[in-house]
Chains A and B, each alone.
Chain A
Amino acid sequence: MENIMTIEERIVERFLNKLKSDQAVPEEVVDSLQELIKEGKLKDAQLILRAISEGVKEHAKNTSP
């Protein structure tokens, strides 16, 4: 059966695609956000901040020589 996405689902998908192609957003942050989306917790500013913070740190670790 064809899976019809709602407008909101389409927006979230578009949002993620934009993040993935945005050089200014580390991959690690996108991964953390995806987790939050899966858990339905993207409406919590504190969790988002934590995801950004951890993602940025992780990215710095991963990219440091």
Chain B
Amino acid sequence: MRRIHRLDVRGFRGVYTQTSLLFHGRSVLLFGENGTGKSSFVDAIEKLFTGRVSTLDGRAQGISSDRHGPHIHNGANTLSIAVTFDDPSTTPFALGANANGLPSEIQEYLTSARENLYILRRRQVLEFIESQPRDRYAKLRPFLPLSGVEAVENALRQARENADDEAQKATQDSERVINQIRRELGLPTALLAPSEKDVLAALSEALVQVGQPPIGQIHDLESARSNLDQALAPFGDLSRQSQISNVTRTLGQLIELFVSPNLPGFVNSLQEFQDREAREARVFYETVLEQGIRWIQEERRETCPLCQNQIKPDELATQVQARLEEMREIVQLRRRTQGAVEQTRQTIRSAQDLLVRLGREVDSMTSEDKARCLPLIQDLNDAVKVIWESLTGQLRDLKLEQIKTAISVGGTDSSLLKRLSAERAHLEAILNSLPSPEAAQRILSTRNLILRIKELWIDRQRADSRTAGLGKQAAVAVRLHENAQAARKEEVQGIYDELSEDINNIYTRLHPDENHGGVRLEVRDVGQGSATLKANFYERHDEDPRGYYSDAHLDTLGISIFLALRRWHRKQRTSFDLLVLDDVLTSVDTAHAVRLSELLLQEFKDYQILLTTHDRIWFEHLRDIQARCRVANNFINKVIHKWTIEEGPDLREPEDERQEIDRLISNGSPEGLAAMSGRLLEHILQEMRYSLHLSVQAKRGEQYELGDLWPVFYAAVKRDYPTLYSQAHRILDALDVRWPVRNWIGAHRNNWARNVPRDTAMDFAKAVRDLFDLVFCNACRMFIVPSPAPLGQLACRKGEKIYPAAGKAAVRPKTREELVKETEGALRNARLDTNLYLAWKRAEAGRER
């Protein structure tokens, strides 16, 4: 498993010059006051691994890591971010580089790191809780690798929709045949679907009228036809009459269809819909409005989520509601119009069916009759085709003018309809002129009806059988899709349950003996991806935690969720162990922060953690907790001494600066010597400022310089720490005179100071070096600090360097572990208060005196 060895950043966010954050494969606790560039390292990690910075990208319009990531003075300094892993043979992975050439385990690390589930910033603590269920699910997506299953589910849904379409088409076909039967028999349209009994009754009535016996079943149709043929035999050859009679009847049915009232009705409906939608489309976008108003209301926003302009939420909500109401009306209109279009399509399909039949009937006519009818049939076919094409497509795409033109062909005033009527009249006249008695015509008409119904009944049976078959398939397709959805939801819920259990474990550790928790993530019944968050609060169960939890509890809940998610991710990506917490501890109160720190250092000790804090007391406190949790060796504790816009965060190790001074003493320029010595002196003073509680006049941005720090340090040592002063007085007195050398030649280019001799700079450097050697312990790798007792003693942690209190013997300070052991549990519920601590120290000093 690989770990980060070092992170090198240049020209990014608050980091200007090349700066390295050294991990050495361990965790890092990084202290820096606000605005000293801690988060720049966190942002750099995110940018390097994911290509984005979540606090910039997508935060607001115009803000992005590409634009705002580079340091504002970036010019000559090209942006660069690189991470080196703890395998010495590995080339660093730099921003924009291709990872293909890197070892497979590094590539695996980078793949996991791209998923960005290991960084939590203070401002992101509540993100998961505040998200909508769908967005929450999106955050969980990397934990749920379901793309394959989702593709299957989509295919099943598609299959379900296709099966449903096919079944609907079959039903419509069946309905058309039924309508035809209804028309042939003159049955009322109120009759839903004429049964076999209805059909037989109507046919029997017609048969009885021509002196034939009624029929009892459909199979009798053939014998009825045979009987009618026998009854017609005495009248001679009536085939031409029969053909003309059939064609005349079909033409009549076509005329009925063309003058059907649903054609103009549908046009009016479509016109109204298209006008209305065109009017609203300019100002309306339903999803945007619904989503937008939800954001505004739920998040109590006072700025527009889209343009960030100031808004009046109540006024806006009213306007949006009015727009939504209008949209609902449009939806209803669309539904009505859709129905009308569908009805019209059915009419046209019926006309197509009739034309097919008419074609067959005309085909059997005499050549003379056929020659008369064919041009009309051709024109009818063309007209119906144009109408059908004009009705094809989505509602909003239908061309109203085209439809109007197309259906005008079939209108009552159209020349085509006039021709149709004329042809029908002409055929009727021919029929009347042919030698056939009235009785024969009635028998012939009944015979033709019997034949048509027989044919239609077969069509109906086929259509019904097809409808039933496709209906079954559609029902099976629905079950498949539903079962697939249920399987996914159950499995995901299982994962949510596991996750919820871990969230509760963490939350309960942070809030022992408190009557809430029971956090539960749930899959919603509707929708493809969602995660609803519920929790208990006293006797209230399964509530949205935002309704009852205090802000502090929501903070710890947010952190608990993040840590549980991180742990879940680790289960799936075992070789990726990075965990970055940017200043999140200070978002919770002291007692909970102590528990959280313990939990982090104990339960996440096998992670490589980057933990930042802006609170110096917490920094020290965390070091105590490291010792208490026996993970001090896992951590490198780093301090950002200062930050400037020109140089960025100062993370250099004091020992390195000390060595550099030695090098410069032998061959450095006076300016180099003064600059480096000044930097180390500043470093010493920044540290001693904290440990000796030096009172410095406050400055904006806490940008203290040598001139601010030196006088108070010098005075404090002289006054409060005589042992140190007695050993260091020559150095201190020399520095009291020499410290401005840094400003003369080390920090500024002053013409008047160009003749400052090298010896002066060297004296300054030697004094700084010697002071460093007195106050910095190489064994502890830290500066001396006041011992808890006796008051006035300064010592390093291990007691290698001790400056006893005046008139007292040196007392070896207790190790951090010893102190922690003595105070085991005392800090657990402590509220750290510096003023209280100092008051207690003053009282102790008083007692000692």
Q: Which residue of A lies closest to B491 (CB)?
A: A11
In angstroms, Cα B488 to Cα A12, docked, is 8
CB contact under 8 A between A53 and B473, given known A15-B483, A18-B487? yes
In angstroms, Cα B161 to Cα A49, docked, is 10
Q: Is B472 an interface residue (CB 8 A)?
A: yes
In angstroms, Cα B151 to Cα A44, docked, is 9
Could you tell me the distance in whole angstroms from the C-beta of A32 to the nearest C-beta in chain B? Answer: 11
Could you tell me the distance in whole angstroms from the C-beta of A29 to the nearest C-beta in chain B? Answer: 6
Could you tell me the distance in whole angstroms from the C-beta of A63 to the nearest C-beta in chain B? Answer: 12
Query: How many chain B residues have a CB neighbour from A under 8 Å?
Result: 30
Count A/B pairs, Cβ under 8 Å. Answer: 85
Q: Within residues 599 to 644 of chain B, which ones have a CB less than 8 A from any CB in chain A? A: none
Q: Which of A11, A45, A52, A53 meets B149, CB within 8 Å?
A: A11
Q: Is B495 an interface residue (CB 8 A)?
A: yes
Q: Which residue of B lies closest to A40 (CB)?
A: B148
CB contact under 8 A between A56 and B145, given known A15-B484, A24-B479? no
Contact with B along A26-43 (1 / 0, CB 8 A): 100100010000000011
Residues of A near B479 (CB, < 8 A) are 19, 22, 24-25
Which of the candidate stretches B152-160, B321-329, B764-772 sits at the interface with the other chain?
Answer: B152-160
Q: Within residues 103 to 161 of chain B, which ones have a CB less than 8 A from any CB in chain A? A: 144-146, 148-149, 151-152, 154-156, 158-159
In angstroms, Cα B475 to Cα A43, docked, is 19
Q: Is B193 an interface residue (CB 8 A)?
A: no
Q: Which residue of B lies closest to A23 (CB)?
A: B479
Q: Is A8 an interface residue (CB 8 A)?
A: yes
CB contact under 8 A between A10 and B491, given known A22-B483, A52-B163? yes
| B476 engages A48 (CB within 8 Å) | no
CB contact under 8 A between A7 and B155, given known A22-B479, A52-B477? no
In angstroms, Cα B827 to Cα A26, docked, is 67
| B480 engages A48 (CB within 8 Å) | yes
| A56 engages B156 (CB within 8 Å) | no
Could you tell me the distance in whole angstroms from the C-beta of B342 to the nearest C-beta in chain A? Answer: 23
In angstroms, Cα B490 to Cα A46, docked, is 27
| A43 engages B152 (CB within 8 Å) | yes
CB contact under 8 A between A52 and B490, given known A7-B144, A22-B479, A22-B483? no
Residues of A near B155 (CB, < 8 A) are 42-45, 48
Q: Within residues 284 to 333 of chain B, which ones have a CB less than 8 A from any CB in chain A? A: none
| B163 engages A49 (CB within 8 Å) | yes
Could you tell me the distance in whole angstroms from the C-beta of A55 to the nearest C-beta in chain B? Answer: 7
In angstroms, Cα B475 to Cα A53, docked, is 11
Residues of A near B152 (CB, < 8 A) are 12, 42-43
In angstroms, Cα B469 to Cα A10, docked, is 32
Q: Is B727 an interface residue (CB 8 A)?
A: no
| A24 engages B487 (CB within 8 Å) | no
Q: Which of A8, A14, A22, A60 meets B490, CB within 8 Å?
A: A14
Residues of B near A64 (CB, < 8 A) are none
Residues of A near B162 (CB, < 8 A) are 45-46, 49
In angstroms, Cα B155 to Cα A57, docked, is 21
Could you tell me the distance in whole angstroms from the C-beta of B114 to the nearest C-beta in chain A? Answer: 19
| A8 engages B148 (CB within 8 Å) | yes
In angstroms, Cα B39 to Cα A44, docked, is 47
| B159 engages A24 (CB within 8 Å) | no
Residues of A near B154 (CB, < 8 A) are 43
Q: Which residue of A lies closest to B147 (CB)?
A: A8
Q: Is B486 an interface residue (CB 8 A)?
A: yes
| A56 engages B469 (CB within 8 Å) | yes
Most chain-B Cβ atoms within 10 A of its Cβ — which of A7, A12, A46? A7
Residues of A near B484 (CB, < 8 A) are 15
Residues of B near A14 (CB, < 8 A) are 487, 490-491
Residues of B near A6 (CB, < 8 A) are 145
In angstroms, Cα B495 to Cα A53, docked, is 35
CB contact under 8 A between A18 and B486, given known A8-B146, A43-B152, A56-B469? yes
Could you tell me the distance in whole angstroms from the C-beta of B362 to the nearest C-beta in chain A? Answer: 37
| B487 engages A7 (CB within 8 Å) | no
Most chain-A Cβ atoms within 10 A of its Cβ — which of B151, B155, B158, B163? B155
In angstroms, Cα B475 to Cα A57, docked, is 14
In angstroms, Cα B148 to Cα A42, docked, is 10
Could you tell me the distance in whole angstroms from the C-beta of B496 to the nearest C-beta in chain A? Answer: 12
In angstroms, Cα B157 to Cα A48, docked, is 10
Q: Within residues 490 to 505 of chain B, which ones have a CB less than 8 A from any CB in chain A? A: 490-491, 495
| B490 engages A29 (CB within 8 Å) | no
In angstroms, Cα B146 to Cα A8, docked, is 6
| B469 engages A7 (CB within 8 Å) | no
Q: Within residues 180 to 202 of chain B, which ones have a CB less than 8 A from any CB in chain A? A: none
Most chain-B Cβ atoms within 10 A of its Cβ — which of A11, A18, A44? A11
Could you tell me the distance in whole angstroms from the C-beta of A50 to the nearest C-beta in chain B? Answer: 9
Residues of B near A15 (CB, < 8 A) are 483-484, 487-488
Residues of B near A12 (CB, < 8 A) are 149, 152, 487
| A52 engages B473 (CB within 8 Å) | yes
| B483 engages A19 (CB within 8 Å) | yes
In angstroms, Cα B478 to Cα A22, docked, is 12
Q: Which residue of A lies closest to B158 (CB)?
A: A45
Residues of B near A53 (CB, < 8 A) are 473
In angstroms, Cα B479 to Cα A25, docked, is 7
| A11 engages B158 (CB within 8 Å) | no
In angstroms, Cα B486 to Cα A12, docked, is 11
In angstroms, Cα B484 to Cα A15, docked, is 5
Residues of B near A55 (CB, < 8 A) are 476
Q: Which residue of B lies closest to A45 (CB)?
A: B158
In angstroms, Cα B571 to Cα A6, docked, is 12
Residues of B near A10 (CB, < 8 A) are 491
Q: Which residue of B lies closest to A33 (CB)?
A: B480
Residues of A near B490 (CB, < 8 A) are 14
Could you tell me the distance in whole angstroms from the C-beta of B529 to the nearest C-beta in chain A? Answer: 13
In angstroms, Cα B488 to Cα A14, docked, is 8
| B159 engages A18 (CB within 8 Å) | no
Contact with A along B258-287 (1 / 0, CB 8 A): 000000000000000000000000000000
In angstroms, Cα B137 to Cα A52, docked, is 32
CB contact under 8 A between A52 and B146, given known A10-B491, A45-B159, A45-B162? no
Could you tell me the distance in whole angstroms from the C-beta of A20 to the nearest C-beta in chain B? Answer: 10
In angstroms, Cα B741 to Cα A25, docked, is 90
Most chain-A Cβ atoms within 10 A of its Cβ — which of B162, B475, B487? B487
In angstroms, Cα B159 to Cα A56, docked, is 14
| A7 engages B495 (CB within 8 Å) | yes
Residues of A near B473 (CB, < 8 A) are 49, 52-53, 56
Give B residues with C-beta under 8 Å from A.
Answer: 144-146, 148-149, 151-152, 154-156, 158-159, 162-163, 469, 472-473, 475-477, 479-480, 483-484, 486-488, 490-491, 495
Starting from the known contacts A15-B487, A48-B159, A52-B477, 7 additional A-B residue pairs (CB-CB under 8 Å) come to A11-B487, A11-B488, A12-B149, A18-B487, A19-B483, A42-B155, A45-B155
Q: Which 5 A-B pairs have the closest CB atoms?
A: A45-B158, A15-B487, A48-B159, A14-B487, A18-B483
27 A-B Cβ contacts within 8 A? A7-B144, A7-B145, A7-B146, A8-B146, A11-B146, A11-B487, A12-B152, A12-B487, A14-B491, A15-B483, A15-B487, A19-B480, A25-B476, A29-B480, A43-B148, A45-B155, A45-B159, A48-B156, A48-B159, A48-B480, A49-B163, A49-B473, A49-B477, A52-B163, A52-B476, A52-B480, A60-B469
